[in-house]
Chain A
Amino acid sequence: MTDTHSAAATAETAGAAATPQAGSGATDDVIISIRDLHKSFGELDVLKGISLDIHRGEVVVMLGPSGSGKSTLLRCLNRLEEPTSGQILFEGEDITSPKVNINKVRERMGMVFQQFNLFPHKDALHNVMLAQMKVLHRSREEAERVAREQLDRVGLADRADHYPSELSGGQQQRVAIARALAMDPHVMLFDEATSALDPELVRGVLDVMRELAQGGMTMVVVTHEMGFARDVADRVVFMEGGVIVEEGSPEQIFGNPKNERTRAFIGQL
């Protein structure tokens, strides 16, 4: 298998021409199309030409050693990092174009961070309400209703009035997921969502992510949780040195990695 897809195809045709999906929930509709993406920090090239299509409803798990560029790739998707070159089409729109209103794009892309990044001066409920009111202009009542709904969904309905400092890491991360979900995103990006958690807290967060995947959410997940990748991923992408080394179904990547480096990485675990 080659490590890139054809960059010539448009978003629509790319969807139709996409590689067959390994997972169950995915459709052929491409939601994100990454084309020859480069990112460098000064002299350091972190992404060296990434091309990847992500389909609606698909759960893509990115694996790879530290410094392989997976987090940078994820952060380029909502332009928290500005790509140096290349294109990202999101729902048919080139979001790397300077003309695009990135705030409008981000409304449709939820992101969950390794360090949770809850707003410490607001309780759980208001963490989830803030952007709904400011960005989606929902009324206070509507925002609160949605917030309580989402907190309930992540199992924290009874923690609504707790401040982040009063919550465990796992609870904080679930509030952060609720905060992102409250915006009704079309895609959820998870940037090592469980890496900062104590081992016993990881499970609660993974359970929420698993449910989300089963609900048909399009997810791009950077993680070190192999169990999660094996169970939940529709597709696993293995990155190293700023390029996609190998991609495939979890069965194939974990069971029969073709690339030597992938094999070495999986073998370490």
Chain B
Amino acid sequence: MTIPSIHSPRGVRRLSLAFIAIALCLTACLGAFAAPRQALAMDIVRCTGRPNSTDDKTVIQGATQSRITFEASIEEGEGVSALTLTIPPDTTFETEDLAVTLLTGPDLMTRNDVAYDLDVKGQNIILTFDEPLDEAGNLNIIVYGVYFPQAGGDMQVEASYRLADGDEHDVEGIPVIPVQGISPTEALSQWLEQQPWVQAWNANRFLHLFLDPTILVTSFPVVLNGFFMSVAIVALAFPLAIPVALVLALMRMSKFVVWRGIATTYVNLMRGTPLFLQIYVAFFGLPLAGIQIPNFPLGVIVMTLNSGAYMCEIFRAGILAINKGQTEAARSLGMTSTQTMLNVVLPQMFRLVIPNLTSEFITLYKDTSLLAAVGVMELVMYARTIVASTGSITPYIVAAVFYLVITLPLSKVTHHLEQRALGGKRRRRKARAAA
């Protein structure tokens, strides 16, 4: 192509001509696409999936039983002899109960059965009609037993038809079916729901209420979130409570009445009132006082302060249990009382109280459940939301499992440590006796 010279007026004219030519060409093309549409023998009326979500009656979920309803209008005298319906990939379906109906009459209220031969090739459902369809009406096809892919997405059904003269045409403009993806556990739950043994299981009212397998699998990942939250609360509150408790314990054993008084009052207050009440006071009292702390940190703070009081008594008992001779030996060497506490008493005390501390950890972990009452999203709270929506107690059982996952091994560890502490003493005594 020669580049028109911009110096010549002819060149400019030639350029504008070229634009006009292109514009005409585009219009013609659009016309060509649009024009045959009016001439088509079949027009899509609808193509829908059946909503199948238990939560939302308008939602179509993947991996859950549904059906596809396909309806297209036929012009009079077109003589449609065959129709191929292509189901979207990864979607399963059944053809035994396939319903093919021709709706005719002024209001399309007359249902006419259509005789056809059925052939299924992969995702294609091929209907070859015994008689070409000449009457004006809507051809309605319902495919049952449809399972859309679990991941969901926009599902495009395709269709094509053959006219009596042998021409093949596609049905244009079929709307997509929006399918919502579901999680693997939901899919598993859906699958379980279909299993005969699950149905038999759930036929027992008690089992259905407390251990419904379908709810078991769906609530697991949700309650797992709560598990992480509860563990996070206790994983923060427990280490934070240790220094609080140490300071309280030392204050309680201080020579100064004021320190002793403050610490004793605090410990008695925290241990003498229910944690539940303390949570209420903190969560409802502080906002009223104009102090806004988000739920999670406030939950951690309350648990820390409460546990600190209990741990204080564990530490105090531990310190008192250390032989007085240890302090005397350290002091006789010229160590100050602080040095003695840090280097001699506390290291021994910690070893001594590990079993009690583990018990306290277990208690603290279980007590995080009380925070559910004020809306902290922890284990019980997550379980409760599912209980509320399903009416089954099963999520609480799942929550129980998540508590036991922590508490049982720790009880075992505590028991082991206690045994070892006893064993250690026995060994030492034996060694002394043997020596």
Contact = CB atoms under 8 A, between A and B. Distances in A.
Interface in A143-179: 165-171, 176, 179
18 contacts: A78-B332, A110-B332, A110-B333, A113-B325, A117-B323, A118-B329, A119-B344, A121-B347, A130-B330, A130-B343, A130-B344, A135-B334, A168-B435, A169-B435, A170-B435, A171-B435, A180-B332, A180-B333
Contacts of A135: 333-335, 339
Contact of B334 (A166, A167, A183, A201): A183
B416 interface: no
A43 B432 CA distance: 38
Contacts of A115: 323, 325
Contacts of B336: 103
B348 interface: yes
In the A-B complex, list the 3 residue pairs whose CB atoms are closest, starting with the nearest.
A168-B435, A117-B329, A131-B333
A80 B332 contact: yes
Nearest to A180: B333
B325 A117 contact: yes
Tell which of B326, B329, B432 has the most Cβ of chain A within 10 Å: B329
Interface stretch (B356-364, B403-411, B423-431): B423-431
Contacts of B343: 130, 134
Contacts of B334: 103-104, 106-107, 131, 135, 183
B430 to A, nearest CB: 10
B328 interface: yes
B348 A201 contact: no
B431 A106 contact: no
Contacts of A134: 335, 339, 343
Contacts of A78: 332
Chain B interface mostly helix, strand, loop or mixed?
A: helix
Contact of A168 (B325, B332, B344, B431): B431
A216 interface: no
B331 interface: yes
A113 B431 contact: no
A47 interface: no
Contact of A165 (B328, B339, B428): B428
Interface in B340-362: 343-344, 347-348, 351
Contacts of B333: 106-107, 110, 130-131, 135, 179-180, 183
Contacts of A171: 435
A120 B348 contact: yes
A44 B89 CA distance: 99
Given A113-B332, A131-B334, 13 more contacts: A78-B332, A80-B328, A80-B332, A103-B334, A104-B334, A106-B334, A113-B329, A121-B351, A130-B333, A130-B335, A135-B333, A167-B435, A180-B333
A192 to B, nearest CB: 13
Contacts of A113: 325, 328-329, 332
B352 to A, nearest CB: 10
Interface in A109-125: 109-111, 113, 115, 117-121
Nearest to B429: A165
A45 interface: no
A117 B326 CA distance: 5
Contacts of A167: 435
A142 interface: no
Given A107-B334, A135-B335, A183-B334, A119 B329 contact: yes
B332 to A, nearest CB: 4
A109 B332 contact: yes
A101 to B, nearest CB: 10
A198 interface: yes
A166 B329 CA distance: 19
Contacts of A198: 435
A103 B339 CA distance: 11
A170 B281 CA distance: 59
Contacts of B428: 165
Contacts of A80: 328, 331-332
Contacts of A131: 330, 333-335
Contacts of A106: 331-334
Nearest to B344: A119
**Which of B332, B347, B351 counts the most A-chain CB atoms under 10 A from its CB?**
B332
